[in-house]
């Protein structure tokens, strides 16, 4: 993807949805209102790529946390858990 195209919302309204779709096929379009970013229009392929990347990052994070928890946890047998429970009671 190339550098995003910043388009004032008023211009996008005048040019129409077809214009936005055409521009978004090549690059991300950022709609602005008084210079502030208000919306983003992108191709379905770019959107799918972003979603896929976020899911992969979330999966990596969850796997990393699960590994940390597994390293710090010690599974006990029922008898060990019962003995510990009674020892504190």
Structural domain harbouring 62: 45-88
User: What is the rounded average pLDDT of the residues 27-44?
Assistant: 97
Residue 38 shares a structural domain with residue 50: no
Q: End-to-end distance of the chain based on CA atoms, in angstroms? A: 64
Count each helix (H run) and each strand (E run) in the chain, helices first: 4, 3
CA separation for the pair 89, 79 (Å, rounded): 15
User: What is the rounded average pLDDT of the residues 66-79?
Assistant: 74
pTM of the model: 0.66
Q: Is the pLDDT of residue 1 over 60?
A: no
- Tally the residues of the chain: 89
Residue 67 shares a structural domain with residue 82: yes
Residue 30 shares a structural domain with residue 55: no
Residue 38 shares a structural domain with residue 18: yes
Q: What is the mean pLDDT of the chain?
A: 89
Residue 59 shares a structural domain with residue 26: no
Q: Is the pLDDT of residue 28 over 90?
A: yes
Residue 72 shares a structural domain with residue 50: yes
Instruction: Tally the domains of the chain.
Output: 2
């Amino acid at each position: 993807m190339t550098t995003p195209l910043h388009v004032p919302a008023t211009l996008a309204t005048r040019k129409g949805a077809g214009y936005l779709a055409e521009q978004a096929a090549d690059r991300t379009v950022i709609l602005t209102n008084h210079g502030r970013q208000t919306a983003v229009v992108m191709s379905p392929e770019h959107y799918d790529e972003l979603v896929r990347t976020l899911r992969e990052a979330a999966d990596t994070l969850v796997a990393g946390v699960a590994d940390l928890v597994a390293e710090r946890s010690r599974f006990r047998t029922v008898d060990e858990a019962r003995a510990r429970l009674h020892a504190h009671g």
